[in-house]
Structure 1
Amino acid sequence: MSEEKKGCCCGVKTTQRAEEQKKRLVNRLKRLEGQIRGIQAMVEQDAYCNDILIQSAAVNAAINAFNKELLASHIRTCVARDIREGKDEVIDELVTTIQKLMR
């Protein structure tokens, strides 16, 4: 659930996540980090371009899967709550975010 950080002058929002969800997201990010390191090693070892591109495509798919999971959670929790509270500006924020994800 999103909330303004207490004592912060810049109005930064935070989201409290269930430990299970946080663990799932962090595990996805750690796998992505490993994939990126693997691609880096491939470049350093002069791997064949096509092999690197295939691994890069796999990283893109993994990032998209991470984004889908996080976006779904965001809509179900933060966005739904804000709409119920009459904070309709969250809709514009969501539209902007989706547009950025679709670039």
Structure 2
Amino acid sequence: MPTHEKRTVQPNKQELLNRLKRIEGQVRGVQNMIDDDKYCVDILHQISAIQSAMKKVSISLMEDHTHHCVANAIEKGDKEETIEELMDVMKRMM
């Protein structure tokens, strides 16, 4: 699969970075929990929270992408390629 060099300015860049930094801290917390032999269910709850937080980041990026990148590409006449790319991303997310 070819590597895409498309770039965009993330309208919510700082918000996304802040969320990802919190998630990074949560992951380190899970590492510590495992290292400290914490109860499995407690670790699984933290992992579930991390997964939920990552889904929120993905949804936020998908919304921004759809409202900006996809809309602009369709306006420029790249409708089919853009819709194919969007559907591919959605399939991967599911």
Give matches, 1:63-78, under 5 Å: 63-78=54-69
TM-score, normalising length: structure 2: 0.92
Counterparts of 2:10 and 2:42, CA distance in 1: 37
Aligned residues: 91
Structure 1 residues 34 and 11: alpha-carbon distance in aligned structure 2, compared to 1, 3 A threshold:
closer
Runs of 4+ in 1 over 3 A off after TM superposition: none
Counterparts of 2:5 and 2:52, CA distance in 1: 29
Question: Post-superposition shift, 1:11?
Answer: 5.5
1:15 aligns with 2:8: yes
Q: Identify the residue that residue 24 of structure 2 maps to in structure 1.
A: 33
Counterparts of 2:34 and 2:4, CA distance in 1: 41
Structure richer in strand, relative to its length: 1
Q: Identify the residue that residue 85 of structure 2 maps to in structure 1.
A: 93
Question: Post-superposition shift, 1:90?
Answer: 0.8
Question: Post-superposition shift, 1:65?
Answer: 0.5
For each residue in 1:75-97, what CA deviation from the matched residue of structure 2 results, as whole angstroms up to 9, or x when unmatched?
00000000010112010000000
Structure 1 residues 46 and 32: alpha-carbon distance in aligned structure 2, compared to 1, 3 A threshold:
same
Q: 1:81 aligns with which of 55, 60, 72?
A: 72
Backbone CA RMSD of aligned residues: 1.1
For each residue in 1:18-76, what CA deviation from the matched residue of structure 2 results, as whole angstroms up to 9, or x when unmatched?
3xx11101001000100000000000001110000000000000000110111000000
Q: Which one scores higher on RCO, CA 8 angstroms, separation ≥ 6?
A: 2
In the alignment, structure 1 segments of 5+ residues that lack a partner are 1-9
Identical aligned pairs, as a percentage? Answer: 41
Counterparts of 1:90 and 1:52, CA distance in 2: 40
1:53 aligns with 2:50: no
Question: Post-superposition shift, 1:16?
Answer: 1.4
In the alignment, structure 2 segments of 5+ residues that lack a partner are none
